[in-house]
Structure formats: structure tokens, C-alpha cells
Amino acid sequence: MSPDDHPTRSGSMSGASHHAPLWIPLLTMWILALAASAGCPRPPSSSGPRLPLAAGRDPHLIPRALLFGNPGQTAVQLSPDGRRLSFLAPSNGVLNIWVRPVGRGNARPVTRETRRGIRGYFWTPDSRGLLFSQDKDGDENYRIFLARADGKGVKQLTPGGGVRAQVLKVSHLHPHTILVTTNQRRRSLFDVYRLDLQSGRLSLDTPNPGNVVGWVADHQMKVRAARAMASDGDKLLLVRDAPKGAWRTLRRWTPLESGVPMGFTPDGQGVFVVDNKGVDKMRLIEVRISDGKVTQLFASPLADVSRVAINPRSHRIEAVTVEYLKKRWVALDPGFGKDIRALARLARGNRFGIVSRSLDGRRWVVAVGGPTMPARYYLYQRPARTLRLLLDTRPELGSYRLASQEPVIIEARDHMKLVCYLTRPPRPLPGKQPLVLFVHGGPWSRDKWAYNPWVQWLANRGYMVLQVNYRGSAGFGKRYLNAGNREWGRKMQHDLTDAVRWAIRTQGVDRRRVAILGGSYGGYAALAGVAFTPGLYAAAVDIVGPSSILTLLASIPPYWKPLMTVFSTRVGDLKADREMLRRRSPLYFAHRIRTPLAIFQGANDPRVKISESDQMVQAIRRRGGRVLYVVYPDEGHGFKGPANRLDFIGRTEGFLSRHLGGRLEPFRKIPGSSAQIR
């Protein structure tokens, strides 16, 4: 669950998103494998628990461990000086950070995590260290750590004890200082702190006046802009001329509009913003600080601007991406256009992205991938525009046939056009086809045309897979987004129902073998599906999904409190709309549920608390119903531990096979999993 969705900035030196929201969405990482040089400590080629191949097993069946186990190597980054590569690879059974020279040389782990693998990191500006964050068993109270690139130690930089921290800004102009945000003064508000990387000293830089939900620093590491919430629900872009100056409103958006600052212009006298004020699609504009004058830099009639590439040294806009059916790059800098064309030739119709680059811009790391091609990493030498393959993601999958993903437009009952993706199994089962409706979370997020291990897993087992960007999904303009306002369990759910009926009517789907599966909001949709349309589905899988909107909104994390007006607009007001929210909550219709149901929950989830699943299971069982309920005591909003992830996937596969008849890899207990059947 997340309260909003934002475009992101890409192409920065560090790889960090300086304008990321205050939450961390559940994402599927691109999985990569980087070969280490001979004679050096070699990261294992597999990661974590694997299931042995049973004698006589279908050779076309992709082992779950190849899709969902820890990658051999992943998340490659280039140091700012361009001399070293870093990546995540298993060590001590979980993902740790490894470093090696760009050319030949030894790779070595520089962190020693043993409980929860590292999910993301980036280099310090001086190329001497790497910053990463860790929480405790999924509680999302992230602490920031600094690992020395020479492997000689790791230092915790921000406090624990329920405090959540996030990196705000790094700059090559200030190599030994970074800006971070933490809620150590008040759990519901984030202040800006200046952190000295050498001494570890953390000092308050900018206190939160009470309504700020995001900060923006200029090129000199001075906090001069902020995103804030007004008491009437409007969203504000605040600016000031100096660090101690008075804040003033530069731009204002109503609750039905959106705007995200991307950073300051090269001269520091303007702000790059992606917004939809006065238009439908999110566009890129420049807003002058002195008088608020707006200059449009790019707009697309099809979809929102989704990413903005900004040069880390000149701070000029180089390119944007938009994504309707597929991702498309648009160069705004002529020189950058030549690079985009070179990378497009390499991608051959697949997706590509600039993962990181050296500070001088001469070396880039580029990832290329698509629905049937897990990502490959290349080293791009910009002066000559040459590419060298660094690694092939998941080379083990090369011997299996992956499934193609087809963009389709489905018309809902009120004639709204829904952007969807249909994936057919490479080897269909006999007769009419079983279908899994795979519902994305957020809900203010979207499904994309991309490699997805979940989709490949389901298709490999013989299921058609349908992904629906129901109304309320982000990326398609504010009319599409706002059409989902206060429509949980109603029109948003109708879109899913209509898409399933379309598939039954036109795609040869067996109406008796349709399942619904999803996490977070997708888990809510699964519960709503079996509660509100009990005859439509043969099975349902809810992963960390809320069962009651009332109890969900009453128990949100404290740092989401300033965003309650967003929930009031998008979902409903906890007081004024109480009866409506009750009618949209599956918990109060548990007596209607007759569909086989599986519920998976992390015990430490701060967004969708375990009480959401507990109360649903109790309501079903009180009426004599049956539900498979599995809890992971050391997980939060999703299952990050490799053993827990494989356990969950294995149990889900068996559940779907029992009720839909798909292919099955035998399940065996996963060593190290904390799964508790309740």
C-alpha cells in the first residue's frame, strides 16, 4: 500500500532518487549475474535454497529457485570515478555488496549481512564508500549504513529505535557530506539532517514546520524547496531564497492534480517539475522561482512523463521517458539523442535504462531487457559509443522457453479503455485455458511491458496471465487516475471483473478455472473478488492485503499522517464516509466467501498490519469456512528473505494447481523459512 505514485529522476551520479516519496514500494528487481575474475573470491552462481530436480520431472518446468531465489549477482553500479563496479551477490546466505575493478581484478564483499539481504545501495561521491539502508524484519524503520569500498568496515550512520531514515541528497561538490531525512524528533514528520561521512556527526539542518512531506536541496546542498500538504487537501510546492529564509508557495495543486519537483535548474533560479495542472497528462515544466513563470519542456498526448534524466554535473535535462503500452525514450538534448539511438539499436525493441554513470560521463552502465529477456548489463563507453556486455541476467533461463506478453486494450462496462497485458503459456494445457488475474498493488501504480518472474512462473505452469491497469492506476493521465477515486471495491473492482469476462468471452478461457492473485492492494482486490463476485473465481491468493478499509486507515504508519488528505480523496474519509468504506470492505462480507482462499502475511508489516489478515481469517472460520493462512514472523510488507520467498511461492503453486489444474513442481520444506501455518 502506498498513498501516491510519482515520476522519478534518473541518470544521477549516485543512482539515488533524491525526490523519492516517504515510502518504499514493493518492487521486482532486475536480476543480474556478473562474472568475477579468475582467482578472486567468487560470488555463488545461485542464491539460497534450491529445490532438487525430481526424477522424471517435466524438463520444460522452470524451477522456482531460478525465478525467485536470490540472484547470483544483481544491481550493478559504477563508481563516480569510473574505476570500479559494485553489485549485490549472496554472501552468508543473503545479498551483500561486492566491489571489483572495471577491468580484470578481484571481487570482494564489503558488507557482512547475515539476516536480511541488502536491497539497494549507491556510491558516495568520493568513490570511497557505499551507502545502504536496512530495517529489522520488515518493520521499514530504515537505518543508513556506510560500507568502505576497500572492505575494511561498515558504520551505522543514523539512529535505530523506531527511527526511519532516507538519503535526500549527495553531491560531488560536497564529497564528505550528505543530507538525510529522519523522523527522530517526531515519528510523523521528517526533518532534514546534515551528515558528515567522516566523523559520523548528524546535525539538524531544516526542521519540518509540520506539513512538509518531501524536501528538495539545490546543487550546493541547501534545502530550498519542499512538498507540503495544505489543510484543505491542496498540495504545495514551497520555495525559499536562502536556507534560513521564509517559505512561500510557488505552485499549488488541488487534490485532483499532481506535481513532483525533480530538482533545481542549472542556475538555481528555477525548479524542474513534472505536473498536470491545467492538463491531463503529467508533463515536464520549468517554474521560475522569482515570479512562478512556467515554461513547458515536454508533454505527451498518450501518457505521463515517468522518468527524467538529468546530467549529474551540468544539471541539464537530457531526456524523459513515457510509457503507454511500452516504454519510450525522448531525448531533449541533441547530443544525448545520439546515445539514445545507439542504445535503442542495442535493445532491439526491448526496454533499456541508464543504471549509473561515472561523474565525467564517459562510462555508463546500461540495462536492457524485456518480457522474454531478463535484463543484461552493458558497459557503454560514451565517446566512442561502444558497448561491452558485462553480464547476462539469469543465464540458466536461456534453456527454457519464456512467454510473450501482449499489450491489449479492454473496454470496461462504462466504455473506459483499460491498458492491460495478456501472457499466454508457451505450452498450453489441454482444452479451454485456466487464467490467473494478477493484480498490481499500490493501487496508484501500474503494470508494464517488462520481464516479470511472477508472470513467467505462472505462464510456465500452464496459466494464461492477465494484468489489468484498472482505473486509479498511475501513468495514464489524471482522468484515468481520478476515475478510481473512492472506487475501491466498486468501479476499480468492476474493471477487473470486466477484464476476466472479456478473457472468458474472447480468449478461450475456462470460466470454471479462473484465479485472482495479488499483493497489497492486489491482495485487497483478491478478497473483494471472492466476497463481491463469489461465483467468478475458482481460487484466490491474498498477499499482505487489507480486509477492512476502516481498520486500514485507522492504523496507517505515523509518517503517513500528513498524507491523510490523499487517502480521503482517493479512498474515502474515515469519518464522513464510514458506511461507504464499510460496504467496500471484504471483512464484513466474509459470509459470502465460498471460493478456496489462501492468505499470506508478514507479521511485522507496518502498512497492512497482521490484524488485517487475522480478522479476515477469523471471520471466515467463524462461519465454517476454510482458508489457508501462512504467517512469516520475520517479514513485513512482502517477503524478502529468500527462504521465505521460495516457501511462499511453493505453497501458492500447490494451491493453484489443486484448484486450477496447472503444472506443479513438487513442494518440499524450505530450510530456513520461518513459515507458520495458522
Q: Which residues have a catalytic role annotated?
A: 520, 605, 637
Q: How many residues does the chain have?
A: 678
Cβ atoms of residues 48 and 93 within 8 Å: yes
- How far is Cα 87 from Cα 73, in angstroms, rounded to an integer? 6
How far are the Cα atoms of 17, 316, 438 from residue 300, in angstroms, in the given order?
Answer: 23, 20, 28
- 3-state class (DSSP) for residue 489: coil
How far are the Cα atoms of 104, 376, 450, 451, 460 from residue 393, in angstroms, in the given order?
Answer: 20, 5, 14, 11, 18
DSSP per-residue codes, 45-101: SSBS--PPPPTT--TTSPPHHHHHSBPSEEEEEE-TTSSEEEEEEEETTEEEEEEEE
- How far is Cα 589 from Cα 359, in angstroms, rounded to an integer? 57
Residue 327 corresponds to which cell in the numbers above?
A: 516504454
Taking phi over 0 as left and psi of -120 to 50 as alpha, with beta for the rest, 624 belongs to: left
CA 328 to chain centre: 19
3-state secondary structure 294-308: EEEEECCCCCCEEEE
| Burial of residue 231, with CB atoms counted within 10 A of its CB: 0-12 exposed, 13-18 middle, 19 or more buried | exposed
DSSP per-residue codes, 25-48: ---PPPEE--PPPTTS----SSBS
Beta bridge partners of 216: 225
Beta bridge partners of 629: 599
- How far is Cα 310 from Cα 354, in angstroms, rounded to an integer? 11
- How far is Cα 209 from Cα 257, in angstroms, rounded to an integer? 23
How far are the Cα atoms of 15, 366, 500, 580 from residue 487, in angstroms, in the given order?
Answer: 36, 39, 18, 10
Beta bridge partners of 181: 166, 192
Residue 545 corresponds to which cell in the numbers above?
A: 492485503
Cα atoms in the Cβ-side hemisphere of radius 13 Å centred on 311: 16
- How far is Cα 192 from Cα 180, in angstroms, rounded to an integer? 6
Q: List all residues 6 or more positions away from 671 whose beta carbon is below 8 Å from its beta carbon.
A: 49, 643
Q: What is the DSSP code (8-state) at residue 395?
A: G
